[in-house]
Amino acid sequence: MSNQLSFDELLDYLDNQESQFVLDSVAAHGFLTATVIGRPLPNWMDALFEGHVSEIPENVIDGIKRWRDSIMAELKNETPIELPFGEDAGNEEVAVDFSDESDIVAWSIGFVDAMYGDEASDWFEDQETAEDVAVLTLPMIVLSGIDDEDPELSEMRKDEDKMVQMANSIEGNLTELFLLFHTND
In three-state form (DSSP H/G/I as H, E/B as E, the rest C), the secondary structure along 58-109 is HHHHHHHHHHHHHHHHHHHCCCCCCCCCCCCCCCCCCCCCCCCCCHHHHHHH
89 is a domain residue: yes
Residue 65, domain extent: 7-182
The residue among 30, 21, 10, 25 whose CA lies nearest residue 113 is 30
What number is the average pLDDT over the span 88-97? 59
pTM check: above 0.85: yes
As a whole number, the mean pLDDT across the chain is: 89
In a domain, 50, yes or no: yes
| Predicted confidence (pLDDT) per residue in 133-184, tens digit | 999 999 999 999 888 788 998 899 899 999 999 999 999 999 999 999 988 7
Coil vs helix vs strand at 50: coil
pLDDT higher at 8 or 183:
8
Single-letter code of the amino acid located at 66:
R
Q: Is residue 1 part of a domain?
A: no
pLDDT tens sequence across 138-147: 999 999 988 8
Domain count, the chain: 1
* CATH number of the domain to which 88 belongs: 1.20.120
**CA distance linking residue 112 with residue 23, whole number of Å:** 13
